[in-house]
């Protein structure tokens, strides 16, 4: 394991700094908009613009990286990310902040493209799973830990923006000084949406639903927290618990999905998520501890749904189609993440902060109905023919090439009917 990790230490340090800076920034922008008396719908639109930029960046930043190289591109993206962070306090206007979030989402996608293509180039068939697991752990732990920056005393209203900008600037240092040879960007063959949906309607619908929920949670959970009486420090703990829960549930849920009909695990996760959404409506009555516990459980259930959908979709595709399919599912999830914040904000505008979990519960109910329909429409894939579950980042299509199982499943295994 050490031999697999040592060559990518530089990249992992860059990832940790990047996520430690961007993680609290999402929470901070959401909370600051609320203190500036922006409407909940306005907050949702501003926060959703980040995911719109991330979606666009995942499609177009390849050209920048190809033209100038990984090191220069990463440094440029990091500089734009840090500069945009410092620009927030200069003009506290929602439209300006939406433009900043859009820009940051775009360059964030470019930084993911650089890191993930480099990780793919450094990994081998034997250690790709270890590299992926280490990358995911580093990414989510840094994002969770970075939330603690929100609790820094900041009477000026400028300090936390400065600190996060410094961290984001430092993310460029290990990459700029690396002696690693720049990789060649992977050739990701696209798979038509029609073919993707024909292969697995449940996989596509689940990825989109996952995006709706995660986009809403990332963007508006701070508004839910402060609206239920949490201060900034408590809000940072709450957000950290949401993200940390996603790390803790990955392995047990993934292992279970390898042993039984994966569709049933997907249904179980969705049902548990919907029930937890209902519990979150009453969680404030149980105090801060109840919010942390239920928030961690809900976050864990949200984060495992997308990898389950990828694994389920791959069970119905030929080997050569799986890479393109994973990229397509990431884009489906990204579209959901863009739409989730304004849609959830609309519900919150009607019923208050707890409307966030009314929204996620409604998405869960719709997903349950769709999943049960698919269960009755087609037979399941036998457990011994299912491909293995793999934890996957929900970043850009480049992440698809890090999946060690994309080409490892037996090519002669019979492909099942769509489910």
Q: Which of the residue ranges 138-147, 182-191, 237-246 would you say has the lowest mean pLDDT? A: 182-191
pLDDT at 298: 94
CATH architecture of the domain with range 2-175+191-402:
Up-down Bundle (1.20)
Q: What is the mean pLDDT of residues 120-144?
A: 76
pLDDT beyond 70 at 127: no
Start-to-end CA span in the chain (Å): 37
| pLDDT confidence tier of residue 45, bands split at 50, 70 and 90 | very high
For residue 415, the model assigns a pLDDT of 40
pTM, to two decimals: 0.83
pLDDT of 148 above 50: yes
- Span of 36-45, 143-152, 253-262, 327-336 with lowest mean pLDDT: 253-262
What's the pLDDT at 276?
Answer: 95
Quote the CA–CA distance of 168 and 386 in Å, as a whole number.
40
Please report, for the chain, the start and end positions of each structural domain, with discontinuous segments joined by +.
2-175+191-402
Contacts of 342 (CB under 8 A, 6+ apart): 41, 44, 45, 48
251 or 64: whose pLDDT is higher?
64
Residues of the chain with pLDDT > 90: what percent?
44
Round to whole Å and give the CA distance between 325 and 70: 25
Q: Which of 229-238, 324-333, 378-387 has the lowest average pLDDT?
A: 378-387
Query: Measured between alpha carbons, how far is 34 from 39 in angstroms, rounded to an integer?
Result: 7
Mean pLDDT over residues 11-28, rounded? Answer: 91
What would the DSSP string read from start to end of 236-295? HHHHHHHHHHHHHTHHHHHHHHHHS-HHHHHHHHHHHHHHHHHHHHHGGGG-HHHHHHHH
Query: Are the CB atoms for 236 and 24 separated by under 8 Å?
Result: yes
Looking at residue 135, what is its pLDDT?
81
pLDDT number for residue 265: 87
Q: Give yes or no for residue 412 having a pLDDT over 80.
A: no
> Which residues touch 277 (CB under 8 Å, ≥6 apart)?
298, 357, 358, 360, 361, 364
- Mean pLDDT (whole number) for 28-47: 93
Judge whether residue 156 has pLDDT over 80: no
Residue-level pLDDT at 410: 39
Task: Kindly compute the dihedral angle of the four CA atoms of residues 256, 262, 264, 267, in this order, to the nearest 10 degrees.
Answer: 100
Nearest to 295 by CA among 368, 230, 376, 212: 230
The stretch 148-152 carries a mean pLDDT of: 86
Residue 47 has pLDDT above 60, yes or no: yes
In whole numbers, what is the pLDDT of the chain averaged over residues? Answer: 83
């Amino acid at each position: 394991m050490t031999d697999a990790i040592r060559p990518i230490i530089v990249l992992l340090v860059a990832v940790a700094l990047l996520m430690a800076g961007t993680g609290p920034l999402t929470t901070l922008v959401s909370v600051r908009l609320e203190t500036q008396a922006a409407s909940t719908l306005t907050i949702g639109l501003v926060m959703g613009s980040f995911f719109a930029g991330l979606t666009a960046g995942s499609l177009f930043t390849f050209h920048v990286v190809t033209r100038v190289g990984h090191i220069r591109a990463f440094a440029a993206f990091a500089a734009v990310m840090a500069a945009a962070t410092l620009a927030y306090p200069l003009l506290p206007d929602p439209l300006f902040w939406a433009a900043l979030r859009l820009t940051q989402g775009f360059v964030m996608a470019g930084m993911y493209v650089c890191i993930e293509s480099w990780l793919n180039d450094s990994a081998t068939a034997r250690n790709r799973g270890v590299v992926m697991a280490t990358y995911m752990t580093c990414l989510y732990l840094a994002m969770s830990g970075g939330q603690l920056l929100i609790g820094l005393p900041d009477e000026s209203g400028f300090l936390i923006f400065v600190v996060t900008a410094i961290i984001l600037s430092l993310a460029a240092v290990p990459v700029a000084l690396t002696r690693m040879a720049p990789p060649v960007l992977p050739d990701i063959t696209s798979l038509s949406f029609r073919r993707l949906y024909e292969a697995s309607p449940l996989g596509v619908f689940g990825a989109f639903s996952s995006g709706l929920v995660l986009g809403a949670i990332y963007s508006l959970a701070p508004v839910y927290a402060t609206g239920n009486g949490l201060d900034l420090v408590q809000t940072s703990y709450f957000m950290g618990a949401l993200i940390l829960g996603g790390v803790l549930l990955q392995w047990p849920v993934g292992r279970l999905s390898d042993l039984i009909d994966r569709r049933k695990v997907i249904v179980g996760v969705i049902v548990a998520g919907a029930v937890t959404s209902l519990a979150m409506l009453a969680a404030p009555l149980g105090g801060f501890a109840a919010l942390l516990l239920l928030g961690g459980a809900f976050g864990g259930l949200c984060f495992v749904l997308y990898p389950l959908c990828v694994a389920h979709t791959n069970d119905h595709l030929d080997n050569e189609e799986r890479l393109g399919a994973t990229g397509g599912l990431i884009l489906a999830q990204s579209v959901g993440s863009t739409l989730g914040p304004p849609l959830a904000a609309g519900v919150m505008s009607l019923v208050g902060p707890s409307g966030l979990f009314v929204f996620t519960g409604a998405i869960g109910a719709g997903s349950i109905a769709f999943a049960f329909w698919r269960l009755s429409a087609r037979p399941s894939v036998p457990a011994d023919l299912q491909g293995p579950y793999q934890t996957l980042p929900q970043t850009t299509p480049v992440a698809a090439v890090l999946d060690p199982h994309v080409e490892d499943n037996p090519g002669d295994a019979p492909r099942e009917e769509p489910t």
